[in-house]
A and B are shown apart, each in its own frame.
Chain A
Amino acid sequence: MNLPNYFIADLPPEAELSPTMVTEACQALKRNREKFLAHRSTAHLVAVLVRVGSEWLEPGSPFRKLALEYGPVALGFSRETLARGLDALFREFTPANFECLLEQDLGHLGRLDTLVAAPEEQRQSRAVLARGPELLAHITAGNLPNPAIMSITLGLLARSAQFVKCATARSWLPRLFAHSIYQAEPKLGACLEVAEWRGGNTALESAMFEEADFVTATGSDETLAQLAQRLPAGKRFLGYGHKVSFGYVAAGVLSGGFARRIAALAAADVTAWNQLGCLSPHLLYVQDGGTLPPVAFAELLAEELQERELIEPRGPQPVEIAAAIASRRSIYQLRAASSDETRLWASPDSTAWTVVWEADPRFQFSCLHRFIYVKTVRNLAEALQHAELVRDKVSTVGLAAPAEDIQAHAMELARWGVARICSLGKMQCPPLSWRHDGRPALGDLLSWTDWEM
């Protein structure tokens, strides 16, 4: 693995980080931003990002090869799972999608370039410019690279210098992405820093907070609250707390030959990123009363998960995770042995996948790593009644419903407060313009100048 030493994360593991190093890195980033980034056009930045994204999709790309070669050991995903996740992410890096994002969040493609007026602003004789922070610090967490890569992408569009602080042993893909930007255009790469340290290192984090004017963070609600408290006055903070997602399958789509197709889509959602993202389903609510009972759908899902395992294995996991899965399986095996209200299907001689069907419709958190609950409900209203427990935590609902009902279902979910509704099978493939947790991800980074002409 021959990556040049561009970033702090490239230093050998024994290198000790000091607050001074962080401060100096931040100051260098800001100088570089002024020279190399602040005055770039959106069109230029989009072109670079599209080029980088399409390179990541190329089988011969050195960064992709490195990601797939070292990612399985570094991150615990199989090569195939990684490839599918990265493909879903970088396929979104198209000119049309970037335009859609800019139009959606900013109302005008040139908004970050100069004072411009959208038609309705013209009528009011106004012109408006959006400005990004000078130094944007990201505190990223978790196994998935998507949030960090999207943060870097949006930060570049915002013309911000960026310091990306990754969790221990989680910098590998953000680091590769930063290198790919560096290679595409070294001057843009010089406005990026990637470092890795154990969260809660207040000396390093304070040095970073002192220099940054905007901090984004992903993590538990407690972590976010603590971080927000530690920020010096006047700094902006954007926290993305943990979210949960689930699926809903209406009885109407489980007739004829469709049921297996729906089960395959559900299996795609369960296996994507090994179910570890906030957008991955913890459970599937399946409506009773159709041709195929929910328990039979659960069995189909188990078959599809086994199929998936053959082409896209989950990959080995640490013993603690395997133990958690094995212990949780045993609870449902016990129940299944004594009652016909629970059934369990599981990968043979491994913890690779598990399906638990329960008649009990109460919401249940999964232990993830491809462990999915299927629960029977009479209708969507009943599903939402049981999901009340997580109502303020729901990110995505993957929906499979007949065409004639889908609008009504989507409206019911939207009114209830779901931030994102998508087709089953697409839960881990949000579009580039996805409003993260229901908020404009790019727009939330920016400040505005209104000129009343």
Chain B
Amino acid sequence: MRLSTGGTPALAGDGLFNELALELFHLQYERNAVLRRWARAHGVGPASIRHWTQITAIPTAAFKETDMTVLPDSERSTVFLSSGTTLRNSSRHYHNADSLAVYEASLWPWFSTHLLPASAPALDLLVLTPSANEAPHSSLVHMFETIGRKHRPLRSLFAARAGQTGVWHLDLGLALRFLEESVGMGRPLLVLGTAFMFVHLVDGLAERKIQIALPDGTRVLETGGYKGRSRTLEKAELHRLISDYLGVPSSHIVCEYGMAELSSQGYDRVVGSPTRGFRFPPWARMQVVSPETGLEVEPGEPGLIRVFDLANIYSSLAVQTEDLAIRSAEGCELIGRAPETEARGCSLLAV
């Protein structure tokens, strides 16, 4: 398998996507025993399908239960964990130098399409996560590092620290100083972070009774759930607080959807555009499927997100997530995650 990582793949129509997806599925089927058994159990093989929608999606649980990779041990130079911290109960997505290069080549153009369209000014970069040194197994941090490297801002800061248990703590003082300096210089920012880190940031500002008006052109990328790491807010409420405390209008808050098990991401708007709806890049496809039938739901109906990601080369290109969304004309609207599906040792929550 030769990987080319130069430039942005241009996949204009479904035909080329279909061709590449079937070819990649064939390779993965041949080399990944777990994937092959899964496909066979569903009566699917490379010879029996003609369209990418027929490829059996591997559940994210497979990344927890097995080593969902064709890479031999010796080539697994990087592993991304779903919690970003611990091997226990985490999905594991293995990479080598090649697949990391694909990961980076995949993330950058779609990120810049949505956050840094042509008119974007020079931006300072504030990231509300630890750096990759401190969080080497977080695919999100790797993505933010990559963005930092490609965007080459004049000033940048990773404003969180990973504690001994792997829990992330925002260094509020540091973040505030950085924000105030940008304001002082009149420089707009690119602020990247998880939902729970934004909660910590706005809570910290509220506590200090500080409201900041970040310079025009500032944009925010917010991603991920809460995982019990802060109080949980409705998305609209979080965005309102970000607008109130950082002076960034809702139109400049972009939501990202990604996970350790994927190599491409979805974004719900181009910064500044009026409507939202998650869309994946041309080298990926997203479906919202009924948990009852596994078939794609009608627009307006809720279901589980399924992603077909050509950048997932060494694992599985088709991934069945546990995230719920409503299919919409613009893509989909996230509504949450299926209740805990831990297979053993779960709490009494379902009783």
Binding site for B on A (CB under 8 A): 220, 242-244, 278, 319-328, 330-338, 349-351, 362, 364-368, 393
Number of interface residues of B (CB under 8 A): 33
In the assembled complex, B6 has its CB within 8 A of some CB on chain A: no
CB of B65 within 8 A of CB of A334, answer yes
Interface residues of B in 317-351 (CB under 8 A from A): 320, 322, 324, 336, 338-341, 343-344, 346, 348, 350-351
CB of A319 within 8 A of CB of B348, answer no
Residue of B294, B302, B320, B351 touching A243 (CB-CB under 8 A): B351
CB of A327 within 8 A of CB of B59, answer yes
In the assembled complex, B235 has its CB within 8 A of some CB on chain A: no
CB of B338 within 8 A of CB of A334, answer no
In the assembled complex, B135 has its CB within 8 A of some CB on chain A: no
20 intermolecular pairs with C-beta atoms under 8 Å apart: A242-B351, A243-B351, A278-B351, A323-B291, A323-B324, A326-B292, A327-B59, A327-B61, A327-B291, A327-B322, A328-B341, A330-B320, A331-B61, A333-B38, A334-B34, A334-B66, A337-B34, A351-B292, A365-B348, A368-B351
Among residues of B, the one whose C-beta sits closest to the C-beta of A344 is B41
In the assembled complex, B275 has its CB within 8 A of some CB on chain A: no
In the assembled complex, B40 has its CB within 8 A of some CB on chain A: yes
CB-CB under 8 A from B37, the residues of chain A are 337-338
Taking the closest CB of chain B, its distance from the CB of A343, in whole angstroms, is 11
CB of A351 within 8 A of CB of B41, answer no
> In the complex, A368 Cα to B351 Cα: how many Å?
8
Binding site for A on B (CB under 8 A): 33-34, 37-38, 40-41, 59, 61-62, 65-66, 290-294, 302-304, 320, 322, 324, 336, 338-341, 343-344, 346, 348, 350-351
CB of B339 within 8 A of CB of A338, answer no
Taking the closest CB of chain A, its distance from the CB of B349, in whole angstroms, is 8
CB-CB under 8 A from B293, the residues of chain A are 349-350
CB of A337 within 8 A of CB of B41, answer yes
CB-CB under 8 A from B346, the residues of chain A are 365
CB of A338 within 8 A of CB of B292, answer no
> In the complex, A426 Cα to B33 Cα: how many Å?
44
Among residues of A, the one whose C-beta sits closest to the C-beta of B326 is A319
Decide: A331 near B292, CB < 8 A? Known: A323-B304, A337-B38: no
Residue of B41, B338, B351 touching A327 (CB-CB under 8 A): B338
Among residues of A, the one whose C-beta sits closest to the C-beta of B321 is A327
Among residues of A, the one whose C-beta sits closest to the C-beta of B37 is A337
CB-CB under 8 A from A364, the residues of chain B are 343-344
Among residues of A, the one whose C-beta sits closest to the C-beta of B347 is A365
Decide: A331 near B339, CB < 8 A? Known: A244-B351, A338-B66: no
Taking the closest CB of chain B, its distance from the CB of A330, in whole angstroms, is 4
Main secondary structure of the interface of B (DSSP, over half): mixed
CB of A368 within 8 A of CB of B350, answer yes
CB-CB under 8 A from B338, the residues of chain A are 320, 323-324, 326-327
Residue of A319, A338, A350, A351 touching B302 (CB-CB under 8 A): A319
> In the complex, A324 Cα to B336 Cα: how many Å?
12
Can you list the 6 inter-chain pairs with the closest CB atoms, starting with the nearest? A330-B59, A323-B338, A326-B291, A322-B291, A337-B37, A327-B341
Besides A326-B294, A331-B65, 18 other A-B contacts (C-beta < 8 A): A220-B348, A244-B348, A323-B322, A324-B340, A326-B304, A327-B338, A328-B341, A333-B38, A334-B59, A334-B61, A337-B40, A337-B41, A349-B292, A351-B291, A351-B292, A364-B344, A365-B346, A365-B350
Among residues of B, the one whose C-beta sits closest to the C-beta of A338 is B37
CB-CB under 8 A from B62, the residues of chain A are 330, 334
Taking the closest CB of chain A, its distance from the CB of B61, in whole angstroms, is 4
CB-CB under 8 A from A319, the residues of chain B are 291, 302-303, 324
Taking the closest CB of chain A, its distance from the CB of B178, in whole angstroms, is 39
CB of A335 within 8 A of CB of B292, answer no
Among residues of A, the one whose C-beta sits closest to the C-beta of B290 is A322
> In the complex, A321 Cα to B338 Cα: how many Å?
7
CB of B292 within 8 A of CB of A320, answer no
Among residues of B, the one whose C-beta sits closest to the C-beta of A333 is B41
CB of B341 within 8 A of CB of A367, answer yes
Taking the closest CB of chain B, its distance from the CB of A21, in whole angstroms, is 30
Decide: A320 near B350, CB < 8 A? Known: A337-B37, A350-B292, A364-B344: no
CB-CB under 8 A from A244, the residues of chain B are 348, 351
CB of B303 within 8 A of CB of A362, answer no
CB-CB under 8 A from A220, the residues of chain B are 348
> In the complex, A326 Cα to B291 Cα: how many Å?
6
> In the complex, A326 Cα to B324 Cα: how many Å?
12
Residue of B33, B294, B341 touching A331 (CB-CB under 8 A): B341
> In the complex, A327 Cα to B348 Cα: how many Å?
18
